[in-house]
Amino acid sequence: MKTYRNLFNNLSEKTPPQGLCLSIIKKVRSIQSRNAKIRFTLSSIVTLVSLGGIFESILKLIESSNQSGFSQYFSLIFSDSTLFFSYWKEFGLSLVESLPLVSLVFLLGIVVVFLWSGARALKDARRTFLPA
């Protein structure tokens, strides 16, 4: 039994032009490359800014440590270790209380951002300057 399915199988089959597949892949690669360039630029900027942020955060952490007394307590471990080991519990509590937590968390956050954006910039640099 011949049906419309059989009939339309006789519809002329066109062969796509020789270079069409290649042209499609070229277009896709050019979009990939353009996107990689944009991401590389953005992640490089974030990396540089976060690097600057790391230096600022370290300076802020040192300042906060001095203000809270953490650096003085901490230096006692090395300058007078017998005192430290005699009163290690109270000493430990004082260290924890004077820890400049906010500055420390901020520094750690900036370091994470730096590492993440640096890794992305490297990956996108490979795609931009060494395309497949």
Partner 1 sequence: MENDDIILIEKSLEGDTSAFEILVSRYLKHIYNFVYHLSGNVDEANDISQEVFVKVWKNLKKFDPEQNFKTWLFSIARNTTIDYFRKKKSISFGDMEIGESTSFEDSLTDEEPLPDEIFERKELGTFLEKALETLPLEGRTIILLHDKEDLTFEEISKILKKPMNTVKSQYRRAILAFRKTMNAPK
Q: What are phi and psi of 107, to 5 degrees?
A: -60, -45
- Residue 26 vs 92, nearer CB to partner 1: 26
Look at phi and psi of residue 16 and say left if phi exceeds 0, alpha if psi is from -120 to 50, else beta. Answer: beta
Shortest distance in whole angstroms from residue 3 CB to partner 1:
5
Q: How long, in residues, is the chain?
A: 132
**If binding is defined by CB under 8 A, does position 1 make contact with partner 1?**
yes
- Residue 60 vs 120, nearer CB to partner 1: 120
Answer whether 19's CB lies under 8 Å from 121's CB: no
**If binding is defined by CB under 8 A, does position 20 make contact with partner 1?**
yes
- Residue 31 vs 93, nearer CB to partner 1: 31
**Segment interacting with partner 1, rule: CB under 8 A, options 15-23, 65-73, 81-89, 106-114:** 15-23
Angle, alpha carbons 111-112-114 (nearest 5°): 60
Mapping DSSP to helix (H, G, I), strand (E, B) and coil, where does residue 99 land? coil
Residues near partner 1 (CB under 8 A): 1-17, 20-21, 23-25, 27-29, 31-32, 127, 132
